[in-house]
C-alpha cells in the first residue's frame, strides 16, 4: 500500500469534514460595515442559502450585507436609485403535479428574483454599531514567502483596502481587504482567516497563463469556475498547513469547498483532481522561496 503524503492526509481530513459541515454555517472571514456574517434579506432577517449566498457574497463588491427586492425596499420607505442594476438570485420550490393516472408527483420549480444591495438604495435603515475586531498578527516569515511568490510570478504589489478578496487574471494582480478587517471564525484566529484568504488568491494566481496555465476562462456559476475555486481553496488549505497556521484543516475550508462541490453537481472525483492541481499550485508558490515542508494534519 502506497504511503500517504502530507497532501493526502490534509485532503483526507477535508473530505471527512465535508460530511459534517453545512452551507448555512458559512461566515465571511473579513469585516464589512454591517457585520462579518452572511448576506441577509433585510425584511425577513434571514440569511440567503446555498448558491444564492455564494452569488451575493462573491459576485458583488458591496460592503453592506443587506439585500431586498425593489418592492421590499419600497415597503421600508427606501428607494432603489435610478440606473442601479440588481443581482439575480434563484429560489426553488416543489410543485405538486397530478399525473394522468391520478397520482401526484413533485417537480422542482425555479423562480428568479432580482435583489438590490443597501448601498444601491436611498433611505435604507441605519447600520448597527461597528463590532470590536480581533487583531491580526502579521507573521514575517509568511509575509516574506508571499512576497517572494509575488515577485517570482511577476505580479504588482497586492492592492489592500479593497471591499473583497479577488484575483484579476487579466492584469495578474490580487486585491485584498485590509488585514485588520479580518475576524476569527470558530477556533481559527483572525490571523488564520486573513492569511488563508490571501493564500486562496495566490492559488488563483498560479493558474495564470505565464505560470501553470490552468483554464480560468469559466464564468461565475459555470462548472469550470467552480472547479478553479476548488483548486484555489485547497491550495490555501495546503499553505495554511505548511506554515503551521492550523493543526488540522478548518471546517470553514470544507464549507467553502462544499458550496462549489454542489455547483459541480456533487462530482465526487472533482476534489481529487483539484487536489492534484492544488499540490502543484502550492509547490509552485513555494518554489520561489526556501522549501516550506507541508505538515501533516493531526
- In the chain, what is the greatest distance between 2 CA atoms, to the nearest angstrom? 71
Each domain of the chain, given as residue ranges in start order, spans 6-23+133-286, 37-122
Q: Output the pLDDT for position 298.
A: 42
Q: Output the pLDDT for position 259.
A: 64
Q: Output the pLDDT for position 173.
A: 95
Mean pLDDT of all residues in 131-144: 77
Report how far residue 11's alpha carbon sits from residue 17's, in angstroms, rounded to the nearest whole number. 10
> 0.95 cut: is pTM over it?
no
Among the listed residues 195, 270, 193, the one whose alpha carbon sits nearest the alpha carbon of residue 226? 270
How confident is residue 214, by pLDDT bands cut at 50, 70 and 90? very high
For 81, half-sphere exposure in the C-beta direction (CA atoms, 13 angstrom radius) is: 10
State pLDDT tens for residues 68-93. Answer: 999 999 999 999 999 998 988 887 66
Q: Where are the beta strands (DSSP E) in 124-274?
A: 159-160, 166-168, 173-176
Q: Are residues 42 and 125 in contact, defined by beta-carbon separation less than 8 angstroms?
A: yes
Report how far residue 208's alpha carbon sits from residue 72's, in angstroms, rounded to the nearest whole number. 42
How confident is residue 3, by pLDDT bands cut at 50, 70 and 90? low
Q: How many residues does the chain have?
A: 298
**112: number of Cβ within 10 Å:** 8
Most confident of 7-21, 163-177, 219-233, 241-255: 163-177
| For the chain, percent of residues with pLDDT exceeding 70 | 70
Q: Output the pLDDT for position 255.
A: 67
Greater model confidence, 37 or 137:
137
Mean residue pLDDT of the chain comes to: 79
Angle between helices 6-18 and 251-263 (to 10 degrees): 70
Amino acid at each position: 500500500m502506497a504511503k500517504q503524503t502530507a497532501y493526502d492526509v490534509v485532503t483526507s481530513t477535508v473530505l471527512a469534514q465535508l460530511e459534517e459541515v453545512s452551507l448555512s454555517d458559512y461566515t465571511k472571514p473579513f469585516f464589512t460595515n454591517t457585520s462579518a456574517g452572511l448576506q441577509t434579506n433585510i425584511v425577513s432577517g434571514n440569511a440567503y442559502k446555498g448558491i444564492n449566498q455564494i452569488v451575493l457574497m462573491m459576485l458583488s463588491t458591496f460592503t453592506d450585507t443587506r439585500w431586498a427586492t425593489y418592492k421590499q425596499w419600497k415597503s421600508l420607505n427606501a428607494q432603489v436609485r435610478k440606473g442601479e442594476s440588481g443581482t439575480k438570485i434563484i429560489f426553488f420550490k416543489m410543485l405538486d403535479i397530478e399525473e394522468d393516472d391520478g397520482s401526484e408527483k413533485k417537480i422542482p420549480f425555479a423562480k428568479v428574483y432580482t435583489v438590490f444591495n443597501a448601498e444601491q438604495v436611498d433611505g435604507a435603515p441605519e447600520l448597527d454599531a461597528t463590532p470590536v475586531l480581533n487583531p491580526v498578527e502579521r507573521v514575517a516569515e509568511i509575509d516574506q514567502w508571499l512576497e517572494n511568490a509575488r515577485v517570482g510570478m511577476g505580479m504588482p504589489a497586492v492592492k489592500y483596502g479593497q471591499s473583497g478578496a479577488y484575483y484579476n487574471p487579466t492584469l495578474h494582480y490580487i486585491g485584498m481587504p485590509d488585514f485588520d478587517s479580518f475576524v476569527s471564525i470558530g477556533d481559527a484566529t483572525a490571523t488564520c482567516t486573513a492569511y488563508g484568504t490571501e493564500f486562496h488568491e495566490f492559488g488563483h494566481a498560479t493558474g495564470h497563463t505565464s505560470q501553470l496555465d490552468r483554464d480560468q476562462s469559466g464564468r461565475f456559476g459555470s462548472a469550470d469556475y467552480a472547479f478553479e475555486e476548488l483548486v484555489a481553496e485547497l491550495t490555501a488549505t495546503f499553505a495554511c498547513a505548511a506554515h503551521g497556521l492550523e493543526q488540522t484543516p478548518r471546517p470553514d475550508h470544507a464549507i467553502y469547498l462544499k458550496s462549489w462541490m454542489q455547483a459541480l453537481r456533487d462530482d465526487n472525483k472533482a476534489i481529487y483532481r483539484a487536489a492534484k492541481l492544488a499540490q502543484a499550485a502550492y509547490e509552485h508558490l513555494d518554489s520561489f522561496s526556501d522549501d516550506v515542508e507541508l505538515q501533516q494534519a493531526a
